Each structure stands twice: as structure tokens, then as C-alpha cells.
């Protein structure tokens, strides 16, 4: 019998969702600090047959944890120990910020979904960079084979005006690029006012070009650079982003972020209206994320990396994304519903299916 679903049903659902998240995450980090996750690392480790090289980086598994779970890079080692092939931390901003007012995280249990309007709450690039650097050193020392990979997701500080956004992204790049395995420019969260306007090709071109140039300079090597886009872009806009990414020789695209639509939900519409604004993630996003993924795969060069995220719940979803053209796959929302054995279960079933 699986224990976590019972804990979720009888304990976590009775707690505020954000407090429950921190409680569960703190428990995983505590297990790492006392050496428990390291002691059972082999039990969680992905099958060697899942290893793959993407963007010139060796990944122990194609399945990783999406940005948003570990915003401050406080649990990279613990999350790596429980089976994630890569952990994308953030979103990190140039300046520290508290995020939006509480409450800002809402469960839609009936739909296996979450609505959040966190607002990039984080301690700022300088503080987070020190943690990423330390975690990377530990991963290099602790793993004799292919180690888990660290991605860093950066966004715009809320108080920074759109016309000054590039400078803000560059500050994060300056602090973090030397410690990341790959870097992601996030222009697609719905929870920072005006941020999605940066997805227009006119705004995105100079942003990606300048971040990419500085990242390579700071890292002293080519640092793979990706952009994360929204599922709410029209097919025409997705095509424009694909064309721009090809023009700039970008390393990859992450598809997709959360959605502002509320289509296909079974939860009572009055409850959805009561929750209000925010990005929807989880199972309802699965169909549109796959659509965007398939469109991108047809439009970008074969060597350009595509990372699929949105509605991933199990190994079948991971496999479907890989077959649709993804090189890597990320999950997040189902982690809240499935618990600490989730990545292991996906890796195990994925290895069996291969």
C-alpha cells in the first residue's frame, strides 16, 4: 500500500497549500541533511540505460524537476538523491522580492491541478548563486558517474520597469551563469505584470542575445541557453519564437509554462472564480503542452533541444513527450500529489518500457 496518498489526503489537504509545500520540502531536505537520502541513493537512482547527452551535457535520466518547486536552490542535493535527472531551480530575479500576497497557491484536487500566483518570490540572484555553487560542488564530489544536472531559471524583478528588464536579467546572469549547467530565460509566467509582453519577437531578440553573450563570458565557456514560453501563445506566435530561436542559434526551448485559461476543469466554476488570477498547472495542461511541443519540433532544427513540461504525471506521459520530439521532460504539479517516490517510479517504468 502506498503511504503518501494517505498522508496527502488526511494531512496535507487539511493544511494551507503553501505551508504544506514547505513542510513536505523541509522533510525531504532534513532527510538529506541527516544522510538518509544519500544512504538510499542507489534505491532511487535512475537505470543507467536512461542516460542521455543533451546540449553537450550528460543527464542520468531524461526526467527532471521543473522550475518553481525549489525557487531558492535550497534542496538541490535532496531532490537529486530521490531520482530527478535534473533540477531546474528558480525562477530567480536580479533583486530579492517577497512575491505576491497570501494566499497565492491553490489545489484543484479533482483535476490534479494547481493554480499559483506566487510572483517569483525569491532571495535574489546573489544569494541563490552561492547555494547553486555549493550544490554543484557537492554533486561533482558525490557522484562518480553521471551526476544530476542543475538548470537555473531567471526572470524579471517585479519592481523593474519593462524598459529596464534586460539589465535585470543581465544582473541575474552575471551572478548565476558560472554555476549553472544550463540557463533558462523565463518570459512566460503570468504572475509578474507585463512579463509576457517580453515574448514578442521584438522584445525577445535583444534580451536573448545579450543574456547569451554575457552568460558565455561569465562562464568562460558556452553555457546552454533556453527560453521558456507560455502555452497561451497562438500557433503563429509559437512559430515566430521558433524562427527567432533558430536565428539566434539558441540551444533550446522549454514548452510550456502555466496557463491563464481555465478550460476543461471539473471543479465547480464558482470555486475557480473565487480563486481568481494565477497560472494553472497540472493534468489540464497536458493536451496544449503536447500541441506546442509537436509544433516546435516541426519548426526548429533537429539539433535544437526541446524540454517538455505541462501535465506530466507518469512514465507514459514522459514517453509520449519524448516520442513527440522532446529531448528532456520535466514535471512539478504531480510531485505534490504523488510524493517523494514519484521520480523513482517514473524512471523505473520508463526504463522498463525501453
User: What are 180's three cell numbers?
Assistant: 549553472
96 labeled part of a ligand binding site: no
Assess whether 80 carries a catalytic annotation.
no
333 labeled part of a ligand binding site: yes
117 labeled part of a ligand binding site: yes
Running DSSP on this structure, what letter comes out for residue 322?
A: H
347 labeled part of a ligand binding site: no
Rg (CA), the chain: 19
118 labeled part of a ligand binding site: yes
**Cβ-contact 258, 189 below 8 angstroms:** yes
List the 279-282 sheet strands across, edge first. Answer: 105-108, 113-116, 279-282
173 labeled part of a ligand binding site: no
Catalytic residue among 80, 188, 189, 281: 189
68 labeled part of a ligand binding site: yes
10 Å Cβ neighbour count for 195? 21
The span from the CA of 289 to the CA of 231, in Å, is 6
44 labeled part of a ligand binding site: no
91 labeled part of a ligand binding site: yes
120 labeled part of a ligand binding site: yes
The span from the CA of 52 to the CA of 86, in Å, is 12
**Cβ-contact 85, 61 below 8 angstroms:** yes
261 labeled part of a ligand binding site: no
4 labeled part of a ligand binding site: no
**Nearest to residue 37, comparing CAs of 173, 168, 139?**
139
User: What are 36's three cell numbers?
Assistant: 538518509
The span from the CA of 307 to the CA of 52, in Å, is 13
* Active site residues per annotation: 189
Q: Specify binding-site residues.
A: 67-71, 91, 116-120, 153, 186, 191, 228, 256-258, 282, 311, 332-333
Q: Specify binding-site residues for substrate.
A: 71, 116-120, 186, 191, 257-258
Q: Specify binding-site residues for FMN.
A: 67-71, 91, 153, 186, 228, 256, 282, 311, 332-333
Amino acid at each position: 500500500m502506498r503511504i503518501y496518498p494517505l498522508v496527502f489526503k488526511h494531512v496535507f489537504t487539511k493544511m494551507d497549500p503553501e505551508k504544506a509545500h514547505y513542510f513536505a520540502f523541509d522533510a525531504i531536505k532534513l532527510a538529506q541533511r541527516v544522510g538518509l537520502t544519500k544512504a538510499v541513493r542507489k534505491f532511487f537512482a535512475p537505470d543507467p540505460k536512461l542516460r542521455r547527452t543533451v546540449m553537450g551535457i550528460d543527464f542520468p535520466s531524461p526526467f527532471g524537476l521543473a522550475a518553481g518547486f525549489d525557487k531558492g536552490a535550497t534542496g538541490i542535493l535532496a531532490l537529486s538523491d530521490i531520482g530527478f535527472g535534473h533540477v531546474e531551480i528558480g525562477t530567480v530575479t536580479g533583486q530579492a522580492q517577497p512575491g505576491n500576497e497570501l494566499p497565492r497557491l491553490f489545489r484543484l484536487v479533482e483535476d490534479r491541478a494547481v493554480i499559483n500566483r506566487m510572483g517569483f518570490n525569491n532571495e535574489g540572484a546573489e544569494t541563490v548563486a552561492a547555494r547553486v555553487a555549493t550544490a554543484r560542488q557537492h554533486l561533482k564530489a558525490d557522484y562518480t558517474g553521471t551526476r544530476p544536472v542543475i538548470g537555473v531559471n531567471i526572470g524579471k524583478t517585479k519592481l523593474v520597469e519593462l524598459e529596464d528588464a534586460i539589465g535585470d536579467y543581465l544582473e541575474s546572469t552575471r551572478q548565476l551563469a558560472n554555476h549553472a549547467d544550463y540557463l533558462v530565460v523565463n518570459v512566460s509566467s503570468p504572475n509578474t505584470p507585463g512579463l509576457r509582453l517580453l515574448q514578442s519577437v521584438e522584445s525577445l531578440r535583444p534580451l536573448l542575445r545579450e543574456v547569451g553573450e554575457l552568460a558565455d563570458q561569465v562562464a568562460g565557456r558556452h553555457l546552454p541557453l533556453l527560453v521558456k514560453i507560455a502555452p497561451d501563445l497562438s500557433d503563429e506566435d509559437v512559430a515566430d519564437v521558433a524562427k527567432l530561436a533558430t536565428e539566434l542559434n539558441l540551444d533550446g526551448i522549454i514548452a510550456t509554462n502555466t496557463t491563464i485559461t481555465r478550460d476543461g476543469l471539473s471543479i465547480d466554476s464558482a470555486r475557480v472564480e473565487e480563486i481568481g488570477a494565477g497560472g494553472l498547472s497540472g493534468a489540464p495542461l497536458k493536451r496544449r503542452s503536447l500541441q506546442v511541443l509537436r509544433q516546435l519540433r516541426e519548426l526548429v532544427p533537429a539539433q535544437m533541444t526541446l524540454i517538455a513540461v505541462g501535465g506530466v504525471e507518469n512514465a507514459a506521459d514522459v514517453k509520449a513527450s519524448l516520442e513527440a520530439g522532446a529531448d528532456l521532460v520535466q514535471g512539478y504539479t504531480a510531485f505534490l500529489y504523488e510524493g517523494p517516490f514519484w521520480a523513482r517510479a517514473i524512471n523505473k517504468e520508463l526504463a522498463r518500457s525501453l
